Each structure stands twice: as structure tokens, then as C-alpha cells.
């Protein structure tokens, strides 16, 4: 009798559409798939539930991640290494969000550099303004005349509007995506600097993703300041200097929290030295990518 009752009841038990396991609630206990509600595919449900959950949910993972990213440098990486990952956005997904936000804000073109005497280095992954001529773009990118002969050999055929458009398209197709590969370079530099800490490369990579995400998202503030420079007047340059100092201090604090347990002066000096090294390596890499991208764009034009 009991067997017959069980067989009769089994058709009424819902089953997961992904793994076919019996369901006892709104989520599958085996794979975590959510039960599809009857009106889940309606437009109203999409805007009032899906969009609201992803963008407006006050305790959603994205906003929780962004708050911790900005308020406590290095803490996200510590939680990731400790296995506390569910409350936060995955480092790779966070990096993609930061890249998209930064790319949208710099779509009209932006070159951020720092000057130390005769040395000028690029520090941000962005291309020159598309309205510039090929010669104007080369002048902005190639501060040391490395591409002079290559450009002069093609000067006449690069004077047309079609050639200018093709040059900018090829420059962006190479330089901007490759620039974001600096996260791997940063992870490698950190691995060499802190080998004695016995962290796995994936932990270095997660830390690099969090740092680069912060730099890109916080740089949106700098882009806004540059857009409003006519209203800020003489305050714009001190604001940019203060902004750069903020990013540097953030990097020092993140390094100290994630890699150095000591709070003494030795740990502070080591974190500052590591931050300076990362800045130098990053700017050299960005500059090389910009020049290499321009050289490839010239060769294919």
C-alpha cells in the first residue's frame, strides 16, 4: 500500500529543469537552479523583478562588492582567498564591469600621461580622439619618434579620410584590449615581489583584478573632472593630482592588507616600494602597447 501511495504522489512533485532532481522549494537542492515562475517571461516581470534585482537591490552582490572595494582596500581579495566568495561579484566579472564602464566614459578618446623630465609615459588604456589626423594621433602616442620613419613612408596614403578612419579602427582593435592584459602583468609582478608569502598565482590574479577594477571605476571620476574642466577652472589640476595620490595610497593600503600582516614602518615602506614598482611596470607596459598598436595600425594601413 505504501509503495502505491508513493507512486501516486510522485507525479505531483516538481522536478528541476536542469538536473531533473525533485524540488522541495524555489531552488534546486542539487544544482541551485531557480524554479521558473509562471509570469517569469513577461515584460512586466523582467522590469519589476529582474532589472530591479540586478540594479536596485540595496543588498545585492554588486553594490556590496563595490562598497567593500572602495571602502576597504584589499579586503575583497582577502575574502576571496579565504573562500568567502558567494556574497561578492566574481573578480573576473567585476573587472569586465569596470572595463565596460571605463570604455563607455572614454569612448570619445583619452590619453592620460605623467611626465618626469624628458620621460612621458601613458598610464591608462585609452586611444587618442578619433577626430585627430593620423599624424596628430602618432604625435600623441609616440613621444620619442620611434614611428617617425614608418609614418613618413606612408604620409601621402594616410592623408585621406578613409585611411584615417581605418588607422583609428585598427589602433583601437589592438591597443585597448591588449592594455587590459596588464592585470596578468600585475599578478606576475606581485608573485615575484611576494614569493615568500606563499600565495597561489590565482590569489595574485584576483588581487590584480580587484585593484585594476578600482583604478578603472575610480578613473571615471577623473574623466568627469576633465569633462567639467571649464567649470572647475584652476581647481581641475590640483583635483587631478589629488586623485592620482588617492589611487596610489589605495594601492599601498591594499598591498599591506593583503600581503603584509605587520603594521610597522617596515611593512608600510615595503608596500610603498611595491606600489611604486607596480606603477612603473604598468606605465611602461601601457606606453609600449600604445606604440605597438600604432605601429601595427600604420603597417596595415
Q: Give the CA diameter of the chain.
A: 93
Do residues 173 and 164 touch, judged by C-beta distance below 8 A?
Answer: no
pLDDT value of residue 147:
87
pLDDT of residue 73: 95
For the record, the C-alpha cell of 38 comes out as: 509562471
- Residue that wins the pLDDT comparison between 175 and 212: 212
Query: Is 107 within a domain?
Result: no
The average pLDDT across 266-287 equals 85
| Cα 244 to Cα 246: distance, rounded to the nearest angstrom | 5
Q: Based on the domain organization, do 133 and 268 belong to the same domain?
A: yes
In a domain, 102, yes or no: no
Q: If you average pLDDT over each of 10-14, 22-26, 54-58, which comes out highest? A: 22-26
Q: How far apart are the first and last CA of the chain?
A: 82
Residues 33 and 180 in one domain: no
* Res 114: pLDDT: 57
Residue 65 in domain: no
Q: How far apart are CA 215 and CA 140, in angstroms?
A: 22
For 288, counting Cβ atoms within 10 Å of its Cβ (0-12 exposed, 13-18 middle, 19+ buried), the class is middle
Task: Say if residue 79's pLDDT is above 90.
Answer: yes
At which of 17, 38, 53 does a domain end? Answer: 53
Region 275-279: mean pLDDT is 86
More confident residue, 227 or 287: 287
Tell whether 41 and 120 lie within a shared domain: no
Beta strands in the chain (DSSP E): 113-116, 119-122
Distances from the Cα of 97 to the Cαs of 89, 100, 209, 217, in angstroms? 10, 5, 11, 9
pLDDT interval class at 21 (50, 70, 90): confident
Nearest Cα neighbor of 291 from 136, 66, 141, 104 is 141
- Contact present, 21 and 29 (Cβ < 8 Å): yes
pLDDT at 77 over 80: yes
Confidence of residue 1 (pLDDT cuts 50, 70, 90): very low
Task: Report the C-alpha gap between 105 and 103 in whole angstroms.
Answer: 5
Measured distance CA(199)–CA(155) in Å, rounded: 51
The stretch 245-269 carries a mean pLDDT of: 87
Residue 194 domain-assigned?
A: yes
DSSP state of 185: H
pLDDT of residue 70: 94
Are residues 47 and 139 both part of a single domain?
no
Q: What is the mean pLDDT of the chain?
A: 79
Closest CA to 279 of 258, 296, 255: 255
Residues 30 and 126 placed together within one structural domain of the fold: no
| Helix (H), strand (E) counts: the chain | 13, 2
- 24 and 156 both lie in a single domain: no
Band of pLDDT at residue 58, cut at 50, 70 and 90: very low
Q: Does residue 63 fall inside a structural domain?
A: no
Residue 57: pLDDT over 70: no
- For residues 42 and 121, membership in a common domain is answered with no
Q: Of 53, 72, 93, which residue sits at a domain end?
A: 53
Residue 78 in domain: no
Is the residue at 266 inside a domain? Answer: yes
Top mean pLDDT of 39-43, 133-137, 176-180 is at: 133-137
Same domain, 161 and 268: yes
What letter would DSSP give residue 226? H
Q: Is the pLDDT of residue 138 over 60?
A: yes
Quote the percentage of the chain above a pLDDT of 70.
77
Do 214 and 295 sit in the same domain of this protein? Answer: yes
Which domain-ending residue is among 53, 79, 95? 53
Cβ within 8 Å of residue 180, ≥6 positions away: 95, 99, 125, 212
Cell representation of residue 197: 608569502
Number of domains composing the chain: 2
Question: Looking at the structure, do residues 182 and 49 belong to the same domain, yes or no?
Answer: no
Domain that holds residue 44: 1-53
Same domain, 35 and 118: no
Shared domain check, 143 and 44:
no
Average the pLDDT over each of 32-41, 158-167, 258-267 and give the range with the smallest value.
Answer: 32-41
**Mean pLDDT confidence for 64-83:** 93
Query: Within a domain: residue 286?
Result: yes
Amino acid at each position: 500500500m505504501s509503495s502505491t501511495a508513493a507512486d501516486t504522489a510522485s507525479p505531483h512533485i516538481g522536478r528541476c529543469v536542469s538536473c531533473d532532481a525533485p524540488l522541495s522549494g524555489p531552488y534546486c537542492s542539487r544544482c541551485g537552479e531557480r524554479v521558473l515562475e509562471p509570469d517569469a517571461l513577461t515584460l512586466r516581470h523582467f522590469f519589476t523583478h529582474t532589472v530591479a534585482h540586478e540594479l536596485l537591490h540595496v543588498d545585492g552582490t554588486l553594490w556590496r562588492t563595490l562598497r567593500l572595494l572602495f571602502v576597504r582596500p584589499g579586503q575583497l581579495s582577502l575574502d576571496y582567498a579565504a573562500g568567502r566568495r558567494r556574497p561578492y561579484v566574481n573578480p573576473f566579472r567585476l573587472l569586465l564591469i569596470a572595463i565596460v564602464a571605463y570604455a563607455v566614459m572614454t569612448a570619445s578618446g583619452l590619453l592620460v600621461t605623467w611626465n618626469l623630465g624628458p620621460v612621458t609615459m601613458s598610464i591608462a588604456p585609452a586611444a587618442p580622439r578619433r577626430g585627430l589626423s593620423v599624424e596628430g594621433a602618432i604625435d600623441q602616442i609616440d613621444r620619442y619618434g620611434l614611428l617617425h620613419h614608418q609614418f613618413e613612408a606612408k604620409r601621402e596614403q594616410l592623408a585621406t579620410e578613409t585611411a584615417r578612419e581605418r588607422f583609428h579602427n585598427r589602433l583601437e582593435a589592438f591597443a585597448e584590449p591588449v592594455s587590459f592584459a596588464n592585470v596578468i602583468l600585475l599578478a606576475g609582478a606581485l608573485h615575484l615581489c611576494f614569493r615568500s608569502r606563499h600565495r597561489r598565482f590565482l590569489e595574485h590574479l584576483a588581487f590584480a583584478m580587484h585593484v585594476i577594477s578600482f583604478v578603472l571605476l575610480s578613473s571615471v571620476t577623473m574623466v568627469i573632472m576633465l569633462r567639467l574642466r571649464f567649470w572647475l577652472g584652476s581647481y581641475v589640476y590640483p583635483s587631478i593630482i589629488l586623485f592620482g595620490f588617492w589611487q596610489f595610497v589605495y594601492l599601498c593600503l591594499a598591498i599591506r592588507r593583503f600581503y603584509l600582516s605587520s603594521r610597522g614602518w617596515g611593512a608600510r615602506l615595503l608596500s610603498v616600494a611595491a606600489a611604486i614598482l607596480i606603477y612603473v611596470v604598468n606605465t611602461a607596459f601601457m606606453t609600449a602597447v600604445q606604440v605597438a598598436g600604432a605601429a601595427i595600425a600604420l603597417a596595415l594601413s
